[in-house]
């Protein structure tokens, strides 16, 4: 059930109207539903109940402390890609022993920070990274638990910018090099080889490519076992897509069904070839936890009628939501108040000085200047990808809990944006 619904013709987040939120907090503002967040996490947690499994939320999708805090209280771990994200986990009260560190370019400082907090595992992506981590751990007198991110070379059938598991991708270790890389890792004295992982891409509507990747990882775990390298966990990465409501797009696979299929394959393999030995299954979902829990609330500044096109100029822009400009992503936009004028087709654009600054194209909308619009399904990769281009302060973020809106991030003001700058003396 969506937590964003029209009540008496006005769009609400849970029990609060978006008009009231605009009134109180201004626009543009990201608005999240706590109930929607908890329901999405529960879909993973329920499917994992009674299993040897851990859900590490990929916080790059949305790293607001309020979201991290709620997920940490539900027992979530976190998939991080920087030292900054680790500090956010700690600030939100998350458990570093449930943190997985992904990414191709971990710095020495980031490794030190993560080791000093004893994180669960580093997902290592190259041989030079193995050597760097071994040295850093040795200097601190620690052992680093590692997993190798293996590139299973399956086609995730998604946008090329968010496909990550193909041969030509910068991520991971090639499938054919994986055994040799594991052997090299096992020789390094300050590394404990504990797992294997992959992440083949994002916004996958079908789980078949993920299950194919799982089969390839299992094949490697068998080969490693035969050489005496025993792995304790298998990390499927993230990638399950969500419904952006784009017409004609297939609905995404339900989370519970996907997890069930993963566990069924893992169980069958453990029984047949792994001597029933335990293995922890880790998931790193981002978008499917937060994507449909947020909207971007914006106000129409002007309607501009041109010869070929009509433009609806709003106060949100590509700096607030980059997905359309970056990936030509289709995002649903609707008026907050239903009814009104006759519908006209508009391109919805922001105030930034770039032709690429658009949020949606060719949408039939019954609106007038001053009206409020929302961009739906904006909870993932919205605020975390926001920038200050054109010296625009980033939007406020509000989380609704029942009948109460909570401000969970203040709007930036311009003075904040140049506070760290200085002129030549
Ligand atoms: N694990 C790793 C190692 C990842 O790189 C990612 C996402 C995830 C997990 C989470 O994937 P998800 O469950 O969210 O699909 N900015 C793009 C998406 C980039 C995804 C990057 N990696 C977008 O807005 O579509």
* Domain-ending residue, one of 283, 302, 326: 283
Boundary-marking domain end, from 250, 283, 316: 283
Q: From the CA of 365, how far away is ligand 1's center (Å)?
A: 31
- Predicted local confidence at residue 155, as pLDDT: 79
Q: Is residue 162 domain-shared with residue 264, that is, in the same domain? A: yes
287 is in an annotated binding site: yes
- The pLDDT tens digits of the residues spanning 162-199 come to 666 666 678 899 999 999 999 999 999 999 999 999 99
Residue 396, domain CATH? 2.40.37.10
| Mutate which of 76, 282, 287 for ligand 1 pocket (most atoms within 8 A of beta carbon) | 287
Please tell me the distance between residue 80's alpha carbon and the centre of ligand 1 in angstroms.
11
Number of helical (H) and strand (E) elements in the chain, helices listed first: 12, 21
Residue where a domain stops, chosen among 254, 283, 312: 283
Residue at 38 is within a domain = no
Query: Do 331 and 191 fall into the same domain?
Result: no
Residues 257 and 231 both lie in one domain: yes
- The pLDDT of residue 157 is 72
Structure tokens at 332: 């649903």
272 and 354 share one domain: no
Q: Residue 52 CB: number of other CB atoms within 10 A? A: 14
Which residue's alpha carbon is nearest to atom 24 within ligand 1?
381
User: Is 121 a residue of the active site?
Assistant: no
What is the whole-number distance in angstroms between the Cα of residue 239 and the centre of ligand 1?
6
Q: Is 90 exposed, middle or buried (0-12, 13-18, 19+ CB in 10 A)?
A: middle
Domain annotation covers residue 39: no
Range of the domain at 391: 4-31+291-417
On whether both 252 and 124 belong to a single domain, the answer is yes
In a domain, 218, yes or no: yes
Do 56 and 81 touch, CB atoms closer than 8 A? Answer: no
Q: Which residue stretches of the chain have pLDDT < 70? A: 158-168, 341
**Does 51 appear as a known binding residue?**
no
Q: Do the annotations mark residue 284 as ligand-binding?
A: yes
Q: What is the pLDDT of residue 273?
A: 87
This complex has an ipTM of 0.99
Residue 424 located in a structural domain: no
Report which DSSP code applies to 414. Answer: H
Q: Is residue 67 in some structural domain? A: no
At residue 348, φ and ψ (nearest 5 deg) are: -95, 115
For a substitution probing ligand 1, which of 41, 57, 60, 282 has the most ligand atoms within 8 Å of its CB?
Answer: 60
Examine the domain organization and report whether 252 and 379 are in the same domain.
Answer: no
pLDDT the model gives residue 148: 98
Question: Considering only CA atoms, which of 415, 411, 417 is closest in space to residue 397?
Answer: 411
- The CA distance from 135 to 188, in Å, is 9
3-state secondary structure at position 272 = helix
Using the mean position of ligand 1's atoms as its centre, give its distance from the Cα of residue 61 in Å: 7
**Pocket perturbation via mutation, ligand 1, pick of 41, 55, 58 by most ligand atoms within 8 A of CB:** 58
With respect to residue 374, please indicate whether it lies within any of the assigned structural domains: yes
Are residues 116 and 263 located together in one domain of the fold? yes
Q: Let me know whether 250 and 336 are in one domain.
A: no
Phi, psi at 24, each rounded to 5°: -80, -40
Q: Which residues fall within 8 angstroms of residue 161, CB to CB, at 6 or more apart?
A: 326, 327
Q: Are residues 314 and 358 in the same domain?
A: yes
40 belongs to a structural domain: no
In this structure, is residue 69 part of a structural domain?
no
DSSP string, 338-405: ---SPPEEEEEE-SSSSTT-EEEEEEEE---TT-EEEESS-SSSSGGG---GGGPPPPEEEEEETTEE
329 in the same domain as 250: no
Could you tell me if 278 and 296 lie in one domain? no
Give the per-residue pLDDT at 161: 58
The pLDDT assigned to 276 comes to 85
Alpha carbon of residue 218 to chain centroid: 25
- Around ligand 1, the residues with Cβ closer than 6 Å are 58, 61, 79, 102, 162, 199, 202-203, 237-239, 284-288, 323, 327, 381
Which atom of ligand 1 is closest in space to residue 287's alpha carbon?
A: 14
Q: What does the alpha-carbon distance between residue 56 and residue 372 come to, in Å, rounded to a whole number?
A: 35
Determine the distance separating the centroid of ligand 1 and the alpha carbon of 307, expressed in angstroms: 40
Number of structural domains in the chain? 2
Query: What are 229-263's pLDDT values in tens digits?
Result: 999 999 999 999 999 998 888 899 999 999 999 99
As given in the structure block, the two tokens for residue 291 are 């994507």
Q: In the chain, what are the helix, strand and coil shares in percent, each to the nearest 5?
A: 35, 25, 40
Q: Which helix (H) or strand (E) holds 122?
A: strand 121-124
User: Which CATH number does the domain housing residue 152 bear?
Assistant: 3.20.20.10
Same domain, 310 and 223: no
CA distance 325 to 309: 18
């Amino acid at each position: 059930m969506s937590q964003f619904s029209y009540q008496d013709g006005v769009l609400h987040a849970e029990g609060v109207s978006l008009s009231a939120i605009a009134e109180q907090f201004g626009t543009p503002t990201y608005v999240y539903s706590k109930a929607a967040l908890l329901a999405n996490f529960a879909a993973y947690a329920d499917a994992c109940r009674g299993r040897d499994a851990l859900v590490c939320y990929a916080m790059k999708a949305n790293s607001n402390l309020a979201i991290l805090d709620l997920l940490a209280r539900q027992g979530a771990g976190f998939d991080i890609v920087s030292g900054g994200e680790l500090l956010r986990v700690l600030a939100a009260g998350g458990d570093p022993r449930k943190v997985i560190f992904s990414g191709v370019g971990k710095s020495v400082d980031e490794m030190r920070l993560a080791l000093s907090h004893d994180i669960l595992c580093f997902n290592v992506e190259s041989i030079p990274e193995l050597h760097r981590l071994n040295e850093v751990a040795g200097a601190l007198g620690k052992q680093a638990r590692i997993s190798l991110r293996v590139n299973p070379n399956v086609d995730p059938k998604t946008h090329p910018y968010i496909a990550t598991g193909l041969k030509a991708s910068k991520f991971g270790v090639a499938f054919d090099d994986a055994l040799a890389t594991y052997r090299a890792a096992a020789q390094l004295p300050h590394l404990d080889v504990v797992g294997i992982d992959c992440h083949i891409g994002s916004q996958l509507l079908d789980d078949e490519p993920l299950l194919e990747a799982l089969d390839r990882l299992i094949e490697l775990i068998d080969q490693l076992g035969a050489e005496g390298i025993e792995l304790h966990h298998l990390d499927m990465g993230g990638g399950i897509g969500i419904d952006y409501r784009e017409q004609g797009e297939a609905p995404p696979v339900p989370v519970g069904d996907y997890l069930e299929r993963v566990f069924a394959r893992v169980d069958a393999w453990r029984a047949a070839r792994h001597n029933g030995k335990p293995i922890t299954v880790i998931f790193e979902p981002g978008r499917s936890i937060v994507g449909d829990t947020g909207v971007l609330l914006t106000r129409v500044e002007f309607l501009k009628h041109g010869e070929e096109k009509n433009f609806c100029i709003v106060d949100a822009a590509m700096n607030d939501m980059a997905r359309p400009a970056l990936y030509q992503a289709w995002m649903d936009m609707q008026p907050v108040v239903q009814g009104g004028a006759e519908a006209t087709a508009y391109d919805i654009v922001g105030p930034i000085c770039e032709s690429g600054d658009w949020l949606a194209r060719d949408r039939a909308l019954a609106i007038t200047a001053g009206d409020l619009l929302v961009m739906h399904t904006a909870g993932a990769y919205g605020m975390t990808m926001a920038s200050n281009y054109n010296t625009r302060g980033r939007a406020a973020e509000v989380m609704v809990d029942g009948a109460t809106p909570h401000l969970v991030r203040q709007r930036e003001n311009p003075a904040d944006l140049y506070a760290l700058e200085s002129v030549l003396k």
